[in-house]
Structure 1
Amino acid sequence: MDVGRRVSRGEPGTTVIREVADLAAGSGLRVGVAESLTAGRVASALGSGPDASSWFSGGVVAYRPEVKFQVLGVTPGPVNCASCAVQMADGALRLLEADVAVAATGVGGPGPDEGVPAGTVFVAVARRGQSAAVEELHLAGSPGEVLDGTVDACLRSLVRALTTGVRPAVRSQ
């Protein structure tokens, strides 16, 4: 995937993954991930990157709310929200001893959850020593298309965090 092109289902873009790998390895930073609705797809994409063992710490798939609360330290309550994504990213930094972490939670669909419409996704990125940034996305399409868009957003968030530090995206989808 080149910048500007969405991740295709089942085949995360190699260009963005290579960019994450080059940036992380080149700066000596370790990357971690905490995922809910993507169920490991972001970690799988990162793990396929060049020389991943030198920069990828790992990931936590926290699909059930209790896993978010007990493993990642998320405050019990709604999980389809910005604060949950931020706490997941912070938990991944701590648990995985990462320098930069991305987290995703939200509603893949086809219906709403916790009163949150399908396609509403929260992607947070945290970097050690900085406040986390979170982006709310409203993705259209089937559940598979929402997952594709979420993986894409996670990878792009990592590139931004590794390039310029943690900051939210300029646009929302």
Structure 2
Amino acid sequence: MAETMAADPGGSIAAPPRPGYKRSMDEKKILRLGELLRARHWNLATAESCTGGLIGHLVTSVSGASDWYPGGVVAYANEIKERLLGVPGEVLATQGAVSRGTVRAMAAGVRAAFGAQVGVSVSGVAGPTGGTPDKPVGTVWIGWSWPGGERQELFSFSGDRGAVKAASAAAALSGVLSLLEEAAEAAAPAEGT
């Protein structure tokens, strides 16, 4: 489970202090994310539940995002997750909205809906209500989908509703940045060859 993240008074959003994730999702890092997407001729689409459009807000806070961000879906209701993103009703009925299966389908569904190469999805319990013993407030699943790969990860954030949303958005974008940096490194020719 991830560590707690909180909004930084300077305007950036602190990301989880974990290997593979960046310390903050500030404007420079979003610009870097855009550079990496443009270099591969890829774009990013977002499927958001508990973040309520915050990821889309963050990526569109930088000039030029329209080059690599065609849009996203705020799928707060399960009906929207099913109808617009193709989340199977059986997954929602058996695993729930806050689950690996749901964010997996959301990320793949938003990629298909927007013709995007990278999809990121978030579904969680932002609080202060809605938590259960199995899925307490702060439980967040994030999913990433890209050509030839996918990943889902469970996080546990603390803080108020705003802190959980900010932490979720930062972790989602940090994960996109990490996968793009890994892909760029893998594609780069080895030194001395």
TM range (shorter): 0.7 to 0.9
- Structure 2 counterpart of 1:18: 31
**What stretches of structure 2 of length at least 5 have no aligned partner?**
14-25, 184-193
TM-score (norm 1): 0.85
Identity %: 28
| SS of aligned partner of 1:56 | coil
Partners of 1:138 and 1:152 in 2: CA distance:
13
- Counterpart residue identity of residue 177, structure 2: V
Contact 2:6 2:163 survives alignment (8 Å)? no
Write out per-residue CA displacement over residues 44-80 of structure 1, whole angstroms, 9 at most, x where no aligned residue. Answer: 1112223112111210110111100111000112111
Equivalent in 48, 55, 62 of residue 42 of structure 1: 55
TM-score (norm 2): 0.77
1:143 aligns with 2:161: yes
**TM superposition shift of 1:163:** 1.6
From the CA coordinates, give the structure whose radius of gyration is larger. Answer: 2
**TM superposition shift of 1:8:** 3.9
Stretch of structure 1 that moved more, 6-15 or 66-75: 6-15
| SS of aligned partner of 1:126 | strand
Superposition map of 1:1-173 within 5 A:
7-8=7-8, 13-76=26-89, 77=92, 78-113=96-131, 115-128=134-147, 130-165=148-183
- Counterpart residue identity of residue 28, structure 2: T
Higher RCO (CA 8 Å, separation ≥ 6 residues): 2
Structure 1 segments of 4+ aligned residues over 6 angstroms from their partners: none
Contact 1:80 1:121 survives alignment (8 Å)? yes
Partners of 2:41 and 2:169 in 1: CA distance:
23
Q: Note the aligned Cα RMSD (angstroms).
A: 1.9
Q: Count how many residue pairs are aligned between Structure 1 and Structure 2.
A: 160
**TM superposition shift of 1:28:** 1.2
Contact 2:46 2:119 survives alignment (8 Å)? yes
**What stretches of structure 1 of length at least 5 have no aligned partner?**
166-173
**TM superposition shift of 1:160:** 1.4
| SS of aligned partner of 2:149 | coil
**TM superposition shift of 1:137:** 0.3
